[in-house]
Amino acid sequence: MALDTIKSNASHLYKGRELKKAIDWSEEEWAHWGWHQRHRIRNLEQLAQWIDVTEDEEEAFIKTDPVFHMGITPYYASLIDPYDENCPIRLQAVPKMPELDISNWDLDDPLGEESDMVVPGLTHRYPDRVLFYTNHNCAMYCRFCTRKRKVSDPTSMTNKRAYQEIYDYLAEHPEVNDVVISGGDPLSLADKRLADIFEEFSKIPHIKYCRLGSRNLVTLPQRVTDDFAHLLKTYQSRHLSIFFNTHYNHPKECTEEAWDACDRVALSGTPMNNQMVLMKGVNDSVETVSELNRKLLQMRVRPYYIYQCDLAEGVSHFRTSVKTGIEIVRGLRGYMSGMAVPQFVVDAPGGGGKVPVNPNYIVDLDGDSIVLRNFQGKIYRYPETELGFDQITPEVMLPES
């Protein structure tokens, strides 16, 4: 969207209310992430400079702020439709009353991340890879966040000593070759701190890959500067391959600014993957996900996972049925580039890990041949070679219809 349009939306809303001051900025300020960080929307007055706040949202802000702060970058706020309370961008950023509904399925630690924590800030669940929580703040606080209890809480920061314990653990565990750097959002750290992390990983020979998990490509693409891209390029080596895993949930998030930021990451030689969370009212349709994934491929971001919404407290209103996710994947496979078809997973409650859930393309597996259904629903047979081809006659293999 052009800056002028964003500004006129913002000031139009300002005129309708008695606010002290409308928000204003220069083009240079808008292009600088520090400005967005300093002007994050933290209260109702600031929110009203951007959108027509409803009564439900006002009440929700008052009730949820003590538990999970609101924090929206002006950039992300500019993507919200100011007059549509069901805007998919708005649902991800602005508190809503249903966040206060707790279902009896909701868990304190839905993914068992704490129970699999080997040292503070490090979860080791899978044989060869670990999850490292570098910090607990983010450019924007997403209303669907699984780690709501931790993020936005300044007292839960991972400190320097904890970092050292984590590096020691990694050095002592040669089976670990992949580190997921997560948070909060690691891009809330200064470039220097990120460089230190890559430096430490480079010193541990068995660490071959790491992935930076950050939503800044979506909520604050200005943070992904040339300097940051240069840092990625510096630490990419034959010994350590760095990937960037991000979190686009809706095609409206694929803006020019986001595309520019992805270009910088791609040009540094860093592959990008996307982990989308399936959410009611945001992206629970084949049309929305296909449009998103086509745009992501153009931006050179490979759709990697679709997550079923976790059983975290305060996100139950986003939950769809698991069947919805299966039907979405069925609607993608075969109809669009296979590169745009992600794996749908359910993170099993209590630390079971990610379980792939797929549409069923196998009709029968018991006989001499396997019976398959293709994406259009047509039936095909393929011989089970273990029996030996001489035992199967092509006639038995003809399609049934």
Q: Catalytic amino acids?
A: 125-126, 129, 138, 142, 145, 147, 310, 347, 354
Q: Name 96's Cβ contacts closer than 8 Å, sequence gap at least 6.
A: 56, 57, 60, 143, 317
Pairing of strands 272-277, 241-246: parallel
HSE value, Cβ hemisphere, 13 Å, CA-based, for 216: 27
Give the residue with the Cβ less far from ligand PLP, 57 or 113.
113
Binding of residue 131 to ligand PLP (CB under 6 A): yes
Contact criterion met (CB below 8 Å) for 92 and 249: yes
Binding part of the chain for ligand PLP, among 119-127, 141-149, 255-263, 367-375 by CB under 6 A, reads: 119-127
Binding of residue 79 to ligand SF4 (CB under 6 A): no
Q: Which of 145, 299, 329, 332 binds ligand SF4 (CB under 6 A)?
A: 145
CB of 340 to ligand SF4, least distance (A): 22
Which option in ligand SF4, ligand PLP, none does residue 129 bind, with CB closer than 5 to 8 A by kind?
Answer: ligand PLP
Binding of residue 35 to ligand PLP (CB under 6 A): no
CA distance 158 to 178: 20
Binding of residue 250 to ligand PLP (CB under 6 A): no
CB of 187 to ligand SF4, least distance (A): 9
Binding of residue 129 to ligand PLP (CB under 6 A): yes
Binding part of the chain for ligand SF4, among 93-101, 177-185, 357-365, 379-387 by CB under 6 A, reads: 177-185
Q: What three-state secondary structure class fits 264?
A: helix
Which option in ligand PLP, ligand SF4, none does residue 258 bind, with CB closer than 5 to 8 A by kind?
Answer: none
Residue burial 208-242, b: 16+ Cβ < 10 Å; e: rest? bebbbbbbbbbbbbbbbbeebbebbeebbeeebbb
Residue whose C-alpha is closest to residue 144's, from 307, 287, 374, 32: 307
Q: Which of 99, 109, 185, 253 binds ligand SF4 (CB under 6 A)?
A: 185
Q: Which amino acid makes up residue 152?
A: S
Binding of residue 169 to ligand PLP (CB under 6 A): no
Binding of residue 252 to ligand PLP (CB under 6 A): no
CA distance 137 to 215: 11
Q: How far is CA 115 from CA 5, 169, 175, in A?
A: 48, 17, 20
Binding of residue 126 to ligand PLP (CB under 6 A): yes
Which option in ligand PLP, ligand SF4, none does residue 25 bind, with CB closer than 5 to 8 A by kind?
Answer: none
Site for ligand SF4 in 215-234 (CB under 6 A): 215
Binding of residue 142 to ligand SF4 (CB under 6 A): yes
Secondary-structure percent of the chain, ordered helix, strand, coil, rounded to 5: 40, 15, 45
Q: How far is CA 38 from CA 29, 265, 332, in A?
A: 11, 24, 40
Binding of residue 138 to ligand SF4 (CB under 6 A): yes
Contact criterion met (CB below 8 Å) for 204 and 171: yes
Total site size for ligand PLP, rule CB under 6 A: 7
Binding of residue 340 to ligand SF4 (CB under 6 A): no
Binding of residue 180 to ligand PLP (CB under 6 A): yes
Site for ligand PLP in 345-364 (CB under 6 A): 354
Any alpha helices (H) in 126-225, and if so which ranges?
Answer: 160-172, 191-202, 216-219
Which option in ligand SF4, ligand PLP, none does residue 185 bind, with CB closer than 5 to 8 A by kind?
Answer: ligand SF4
Binding of residue 125 to ligand PLP (CB under 6 A): yes
CB of 19 to ligand SF4, least distance (A): 27
Cis peptide before 16 (omega within 30 of 0): no
CB of 274 to ligand PLP, least distance (A): 12
Looking up tokens 């029996």 gives: 387
Give the residue with the Cβ less far from ligand PLP, 129 or 148.
129
Q: Which residues pair with 122 in a beta bridge?
A: 119, 132
Binding of residue 239 to ligand PLP (CB under 6 A): no
CB of 278 to ligand PLP, least distance (A): 16
Contact criterion met (CB below 8 Å) for 242 and 197: no
CB of 213 to ligand SF4, least distance (A): 8
Q: Which amino acid makes up residue 203?
A: K
Chain center to CA of 252 = 15
- Sites of contact with ligand PLP (CB under 6 A): 123, 125-126, 129, 131, 180, 354
- Sites of contact with ligand SF4 (CB under 6 A): 138, 141-142, 145, 147, 151, 183-185, 215
